[in-house]
Structure formats: structure tokens, C-alpha cells
Amino acid sequence: MYPAQIGYYKPQNVGEALEFMEGNDAKILAGGQSLIPMLKLRILKPKYLVDIGELAELSFIKEGEETTIGSTTKHWELASKRISGLEIIQNAASKVGDVQVRNVGTVGGSLSNADPSSDYPAVFTALDATMIIRSRRGLREEKAEDFFKGPFTTSLDPSEILERVKVKALKGYKQVYKKIVRRAGDYALVGLALAIKIDSGMVKDARIAFTGVGDKPYRSREAENEIKDTKLTDSDISKAVEASVKGINPPSDSRGSSNYRKEVMKRLLKNSLEEMRNAS
């Protein structure tokens, strides 16, 4: 199906994009892998598209103590780059959509779209990432956890662009992103972003965040606390697993019931923690 009639503006830089968006009913187009399907279904009918997909100033991966990733960096670029201390990003990027989607889709587009079942929001929440947002008023920063407000809703207002994401390296952490799907190419039924630091047999830090289980990424601090300063024995793991589903009531839909999702969360966390323990 064709999108409704729409205007198209291609700015030369971020400044021009922001200027155009002020006072215009405009949507930012980066890779379009979420936006174009919504335009085709006419769920969205903005007056204009502002195509930032080819702005070189927004496409970069700068490694360091803190790594910054430009918002129009494509999934395949992240999937082909191992960032020391942030291996989970490569891991998650290689599981987004399919090859064709990863060739076009962008990290900033996925984060701004905030699909409650998408992969990056849980990962960047687990990483305690900082979103750097630009508008004509200047820059503001926001923690990933506060950035996601609900289904397809972030703290971005229509005059703002997510410019880059800043993440501190988790050196010495075992980290993994796993997702369970019923069919190849599906969005996650449940996804888990997990990072733990084990030092001389003790868990020093833990990050546990799920996707697909609520209207935004779900970070389970209860589960994290159950394994911090433990030796990750079977009983520590089962306490964390039980804690991980407290305080969350996953949705029921065609992909699985609420209870089924809870079982998947538990199994996923249990297996992943056991794997990490056994590998250390």
C-alpha cells in the first residue's frame, strides 16, 4: 500500500533538520524500517518527512572509556564491530530483524520508535546508557531508563532529535543478549539483556533487563540484588529468577499469554545465569 501524500525534506545538517521541524508536522526518517511500514498502513500521516538518513555527522562509533554511537549508525555496522566491554551491543545488533532490515535500519531509529518488543531498549537500559538529545534549545541528556515512557513513546518532543547514545564500557563483565521468538524474524516474545561481573567467584555487579514483557523495557533491580555479592549458587539463581517476575505483568497476545511470557523470562534468566557461572 502507498503511504498518504507526503512532503520530503532532506537537510544538509542537523541544524537544518531542527529548523525545519520547528512548527512543521514532520517526522524524522532515518532508515525507515519502522516508519515506512507505519506510513504505508497510514497509522502515521505526518505532513513531512525529514530525511536524516545520510547525515554523516550522525553516523559513527567512537570507542573509549565511554563509547558514543551516532543515531543513524546502521544495525549492520554495530553487528560487525566488537566494542571492548560492550560486546552485548554487537550481540544484540546481529539479532535485529533480518539481514535486509539491518542493512538499512538505524540504532537511533529503533530507540526513538520504542517498540516495546524491540531489542535495543532493553540493552541500553541494562547498560545505563545516556541518550543525548538535540533541539534548537541545545543539548540535553537523559538516562535510557527515563527515556522510554511507554509503547512507542519516548521523552522526545516533536522538536527534538536523538543525536547519539553514550555508554560506559562494562569491562570484565560477561554479557549477552538473548531473544526468544516463535518464528524466524519475529519481534521478541521475550528478550533478555544480561551483564554480570564475577570477581574471584563473587558477583560484583549485575544488570538484568527484559524486552517484550511490558510497555517499555523492564529492568529488574530485585533480581539484580538477589545475585549481587553471592557466589551464584543454584539457590541464588533461583531466588533471582523468582524475583525477576515480581512486579511485572507481561501482556497476553498472539505470541504468548502473560503466564507463558513469565515462564519464558524465568527459563531464559536461569539458563543464562547458569551458562555464565559455568563459563567462569
Partner 1 sequence: MKVKVNGVEYEDEVEPRTLLVDFLRDNLNLTGTKIGCDTTTCGACTVLVNGRSVKSCTMLAIQANGKEILTIEGLSSDSKLNPIQQAFKDNFALQCGYCTAGMIVQAHFILSHERDLSEEKVRDMIHGNICRCTGYQNIVNAILDASRRMRA
Residues lying near partner 1 in the complex (CB under 8 A): 1-8, 29, 32-33, 36-37, 39-40, 49, 51, 53, 76, 97-101, 103-104, 184-185
Closest CA to 218 of 191, 236, 200: 191
Q: How far is the CB of 98 from partner 1 (least distance, A)?
A: 3
What minimum distance in Å lies between the beta carbon of 36 and partner 1?
5
Which lies closer to partner 1 via its Cβ, residue 79 or residue 89? Answer: 79
| β strands within the chain, DSSP E | 7-9, 26-29, 48-51, 61-62, 66-70, 130-135, 138-143, 148-150, 153-154, 161-168, 173-180, 190-199, 202-211, 218-219
Nearer to partner 1, 35 or 126 (CB): 35
Element housing 110 (H / E): helix 107-113
Rounded Cα gap, residues 273 and 198, in angstroms: 11
Minimum gap (Å) between residue 21 Cβ and partner 1: 16
Q: Coil, strand, or helix at residue 95?
A: coil
- The least distance separating partner 1 from the CB of residue 5, rounded to whole angstroms, comes to 6
Q: Which is nearer to partner 1, 184 or 279 (CB)?
A: 184
Cβ at position 106, least distance to partner 1 in Å: 12
Nearest residue (CB) to partner 1, 229 versus 253: 253
The backbone torsions φ and ψ at residue 257, rounded to the nearest 5 degrees and listed phi first, read -80, 170
State the residue for C-alpha cell 543478549. Answer: 177
Nearer to partner 1, 81 or 228 (CB): 81
Query: Distance between CA 30 and CA 21 in Å, rounded?
Result: 14
